[in-house]
């Protein structure tokens, strides 16, 4: 029967929910093809032929355009058709497939508290939905889920779309010469309930919290003289459908998220279109040396935690312990005591009811209490809600690498007078030893952060603090909203089955998502008035990436190879170039960020190290032309790119974390009936294609730290391409971070993984190499550190059977680029391949029951994994950080 006859005979199909949809024979063919593939007979021609037979049988059984078949009718006939055609093995595979689909459907409905699956639930896999249900979907007073994933993404997209709508030429006047009645608009804030689901754009209704954002956005622009019309006229335009074209923008944002091509940071998905309405992940507060200021910062931190954000504070302006307090004739208790206050507040105030807050506590190397600060967290149970870092400047680095004696002066925060002299080498050794033991503190290189800080001129001060994971430097009361593009989705399949990266789609996605994040600034409901002001003065955004490791797997490029580094460099350069170019386009239509004229942008400076430090002939884009555009039109956002942790977001997008290599290719999950394995999907497919997929191989990989390295059955090309974090030498981790940092405006969240048998000297050498490469900060994680093992390694009896060595790329860099004799000698010594004593064995992996409570996920009590400077749970998506 040809297609025209079929379509005239059967037009529709009744779904399980009772809804009727168009009949599509291709869906039958696809289901049969999957059953064929399960029996290793993947034959598209045979699948199409059998699908034709199914349709003929449907017609024979009397189904017509007036008698619509159900999904179950069709599935029953598929089974009988397969049996009748002598394909009983395929019929069995189809029956199993059908049973598994039903089981999966039931499980999804149970997880989401749904009677029928919405479109997103059908598309997303079960693990993604578990994360959405545990953290993002709205719940009622009884803690029951009351929205579907589709509704969640819609409420986010609608809010972002309101950001565009307010810049329509019918409404917006960039000249700032219009005066409107702001009080009239604000009066609507008193009657939000009356406007719940009253206005819409296209088919998208605004709930009362969307309506609140519309009012606040209007008020902000009206106060700048940029609203052409009164608020009631705006509502009239909405009612008359004069702004309905923005439904297309909302759909565009919605599709970006549901296609898993891009996700904004967690607070945006948790709070957009909700009462809290706070959409940013990162905040920094000041901490000045006065009781009123300290209490104000503590109170502001509590409000930020409550709204779903994390806070970074530099405590260096607080006088050292034991210093005299003139007003009381008492003695100061020191910065660490005030960190304990914030730690307690964090414990008490759960972020938006979803998770505890996260903090970054910083003390600069010149502070008299720096040694106490460094060793403070080596004991368990201390400052559990903090990441801590030591901030270093040029003077410390000079004392460390350029002076013979290494003498370094610690100074009073009160008057900057010398308090005592220490040795810079001893201090860096202390930091390295502490990080070797407990993964903390990290190091923040404030000299590198401020090297191309175009904003310092406007703020008349350098940057001195970062968010909790260290990738986002901010001034006091600034916030930043982050988002990540899923790079593995941006590939095109070639005719020969290989993949290539789609650069054009990457550019389009960067432009759309830059606009998305810029809109978030306008529709955000900030927790503190000062944050509202500072965030809008700079309009800082942090567009980043995830899925880098998976992308390289698909392209068959080793992460730590010359080709791998070159691709990552171009990806990073494109990200910042196109996002800045889009930011200029936004400045032309909406205006530059308010402080732009006071920065170094009008002088032709940009906050991108690669532009200055990489040879011009190696640049892939026309940076000089972009700089000229910025000088002419300004730029909308002071900085546009950040590579943030994406632990939870990666689980929703079903891809690898940030720009990290994969942590492991196979995880073991113990269940009562035996061993069960989670396997990286791309690797699973390759193992199947090469007839290597079996429980025995998975067990071998799990017992080998989740790595393919050194497993005889695995071909060498696979071992080279499918590398894990533990397969890559720590110096290559640094090099990869550096390749991204060259072009990223803000910074990178990355964990420098080290094996258990490195020394504190290796950690110190990593610091030296990190600074030399131009990193803005470094977090080292030695396997086996942190008191008890945080990493639930891939198997309870995992042992590493291989040594890793630096890549040629690293050794070439060290020999040709490092000129400082001290740094060169230290790094060369650390990179020399060590031959380990045969008797040395890996530290035993803690059994699950031995892991202390604070190392278990607070949501589901499974073990936490330490990735990107952050503990995350691979079961439910809990994250110790706030951005992802």
- 471, 478, 592, 772: the active-site residue: 471
DSSP 787: T
Is 870 catalytic? The answer is: no
Report CA torsion sign: 576, 577, 583, 584: positive
The C-alpha atoms of residue 432 and residue 772 are separated, in whole angstroms, by 17
If we measure between CA atoms, which residue out of 209, 212, 221 comes closest to residue 175?
Answer: 221
If we measure between CA atoms, which residue out of 391, 538, 539 comes closest to residue 465?
Answer: 391
3-state helix, strand, coil in the chain (%, to 5): 50, 15, 40
Residue 375, phi then psi, degrees to nearest 5: -90, -5
Residue with tokens 């189809």: 94
DSSP 843: P
Number of other CB atoms surrounding residue 284 within 10 Å: 29
The C-alpha atoms of residue 364 and residue 12 are separated, in whole angstroms, by 69
DSSP H helical segments within 113-226, as ranges?
119-123, 126-135, 149-165, 182-187, 208-223
The C-alpha atoms of residue 606 and residue 599 are separated, in whole angstroms, by 10
Query: Do 160 and 279 touch, CB atoms closer than 8 A?
Result: no
DSSP 848: G
- 376, 467, 524, 637: the active-site residue: 467
Tokens of 617: 């002939």
Tokens of 813: 């860099």
Is 471 catalytic? The answer is: yes
The C-alpha atoms of residue 350 and residue 717 are separated, in whole angstroms, by 48
Residue 488, phi then psi, degrees to nearest 5: -65, -25
DSSP H helical segments within 525-603, as ranges?
529-538, 548-555, 562-590
Q: What CA–CA distances, in Å, run from 362 to 310, 446, 466, 489?
A: 14, 11, 8, 37
Residue with tokens 């034991």: 322
Q: What b-and-e string marks burial along 606-616, b requiring 16 or more CB atoms within 10 Å of the CB?
A: bbbbbbeeeee
The C-alpha atoms of residue 613 and residue 772 are separated, in whole angstroms, by 12
- 469, 596, 873, 876: the active-site residue: 469
Tokens of 253: 């944002």
Is 467 catalytic? The answer is: yes
The C-alpha atoms of residue 610 and residue 115 are separated, in whole angstroms, by 53
Q: What b-and-e string marks burial along 835-847, b requiring 16 or more CB atoms within 10 Å of the CB?
A: eeeeeeebeebbe
Q: Catalytic residue positions?
A: 467, 469, 471
């Amino acid at each position: 029967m040809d297609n025209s006859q079929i379509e005239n005979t059967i037009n529709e199909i009744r779904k399980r929910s009772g809804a009727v949809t168009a009949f599509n024979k291709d869906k039958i063919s696809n289901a049969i093809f999957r059953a064929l593939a399960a029996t290793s007979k993947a034959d598209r021609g045979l699948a199409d032929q059998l699908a034709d037979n199914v349709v003929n049988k449907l017609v024979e059984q009397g189904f017509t355009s007036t008698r619509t078949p159900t999904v179950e009718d069709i599935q029953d006939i598929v089974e009988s058709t397969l049996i009748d055609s002598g394909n009983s093995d395929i019929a069995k595979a189809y029956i199993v497939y059908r049973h598994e689909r039903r089981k999966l459907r039931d499980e999804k409905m149970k997880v989401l508290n749904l009677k029928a699956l919405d479109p997103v639930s059908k598309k997303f896999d079960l693990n993604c939905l578990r994360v959405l249900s545990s953290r993002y979907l709205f719940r009622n007073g009884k803690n029951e889920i009351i929205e579907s994933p589709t509704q969640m993404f819609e409420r986010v997209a609608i809010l972002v779309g309101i950001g565009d709508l307010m810049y329509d030429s019918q409404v917006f006047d960039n000249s700032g010469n219009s005066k409107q009645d702001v009080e009239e608009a604000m009066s609507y804030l008193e009657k939000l309930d009356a406007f719940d689901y009253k206005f819409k754009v296209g088919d998208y209704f605004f709930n009362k919290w969307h309506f609140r954002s519309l009012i606040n956005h209007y008020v902000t622009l009206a106060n700048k003289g940029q609203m052409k019309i009164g608020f009631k006229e705006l509502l009239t335009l909405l009612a008359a459908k004069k702004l309905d074209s923005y439904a297309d923008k909302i759909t565009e944002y919605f599709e970006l998220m549901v296609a898993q091509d891009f996700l904004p940071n967690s607070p945006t998905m948790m709070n957009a279109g909700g009462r809290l309405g706070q959409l940013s992940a990162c905040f920094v507060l000041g901490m000045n040396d006065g009781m009123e200021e300290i209490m104000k910062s503590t109170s502001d931190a509590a409000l930020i935690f409550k709204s779903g954000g994390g806070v970074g504070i530099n405590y260096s302006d607080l006088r050292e312990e034991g210093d005299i307090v003139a007003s009381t004739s008492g003695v100061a208790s020191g910065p660490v005591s005030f960190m304990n206050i914030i730690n307690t507040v964090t414990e008490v105030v759960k972020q938006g009811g979803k998770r505890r807050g996260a903090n970054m506590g910083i003390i600069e190397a010149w502070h008299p209490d720096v040694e106490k600060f460094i060793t403070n967290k080596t004991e368990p149970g201390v400052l559990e809600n903090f990441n801590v870092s030591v901030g270093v400047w040029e003077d410390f680095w000079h004392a460390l690498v350029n002076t013979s004696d290494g003498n370094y002066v610690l100074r009073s925060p009160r008057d900057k007078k010398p308090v005592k002299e220490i040795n810079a080498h001893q201090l860096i050794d202390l930091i390295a030893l502490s990080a070797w033991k407990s993964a903390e503190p990290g190091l923040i290189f404030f000299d590198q952060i401020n090297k191309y800080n175009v904003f310092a001129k406007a703020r008349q001060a350098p940057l001195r603090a970062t968010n909790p994971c260290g990738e986002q430097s901010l001034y006091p009361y600034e916030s930043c909203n982050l988002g990540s593009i899923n790079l593995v989705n941006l590939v095109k399949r070639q005719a020969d089955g290989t993949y290539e990266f789609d650069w054009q789609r990457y550019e389009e996605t960067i432009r759309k998502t830059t606009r998305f994040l810029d809109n978030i600034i306008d529709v955000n409901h900030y927790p503190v008035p000062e944050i509202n002001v500072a965030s809008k003065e700079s309009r800082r955004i942090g567009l980043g990436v995830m899925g880098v490791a998976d992308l390289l797997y698909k392209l068959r490029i080793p992460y730590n190879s010359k080709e791998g580094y070159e691709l990552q460099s171009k990806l990073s350069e494109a990200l910042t170039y196109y996002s800045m170019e889009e930011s200029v386009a936004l400045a032309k239509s909406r205006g530059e960020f308010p402080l732009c004229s006071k920065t170094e942008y009008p002088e032709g400076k940009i906050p991108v190290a690669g532009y200055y430090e990489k040879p011009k002939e190696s640049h892939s884009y026309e940076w000089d032309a972009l700089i000229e555009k910025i000088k002419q039109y300004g730029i909308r956002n002071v900085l546009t790119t950040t590579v943030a942790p994406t632990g939870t977001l990666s689980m929703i997008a079903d891809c690898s974390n940030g720009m990290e290599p994969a942590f492991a290719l196979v995880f073991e999950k113990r269940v009562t009936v035996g061993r069960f394995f989670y396997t990286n999907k791309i690797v699973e497919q390759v193992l199947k294609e090469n007839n290597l997929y079996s429980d025995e191989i998975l067990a071998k990989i799990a017992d080998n730290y989740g790595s393919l390295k050194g497993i005889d059955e695995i071909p060498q090309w696979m071992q080279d391409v499918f590398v894990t974090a533990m397969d890559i030498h720590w110096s290559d981790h640094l090099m990869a971070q550096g390749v991204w940092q060259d072009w990223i405006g803000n910074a990178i969240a990355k964990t420098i993984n080290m094996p258990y048998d490195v020394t504190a000297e290796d950690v110190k050498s990593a610091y030296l190499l990190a600074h030399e490469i131009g990193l803005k900060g470094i977090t080292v994680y030695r396997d086996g550190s942190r008191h008890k093992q945080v990493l639930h390694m891939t198997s309870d009896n995992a042992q590493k059977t291989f040594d890793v060595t630096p890549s040629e790329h690293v050794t070439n860099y060290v020999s040709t680029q490092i000129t400082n004799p001290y740094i060169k000698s230290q790094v060369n010594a650390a990179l020399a391949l060590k031959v380990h004593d045969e008797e040395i064995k890996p530290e035993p992996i803690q059994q699950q029951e031995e892991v202390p409570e604070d190392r278990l996920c607070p949501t589901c009590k499974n073990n936490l994994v330490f990735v990107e400077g952050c503990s995350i749970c691979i079961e439910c998506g809990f994250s110790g950080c706030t951005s992802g």
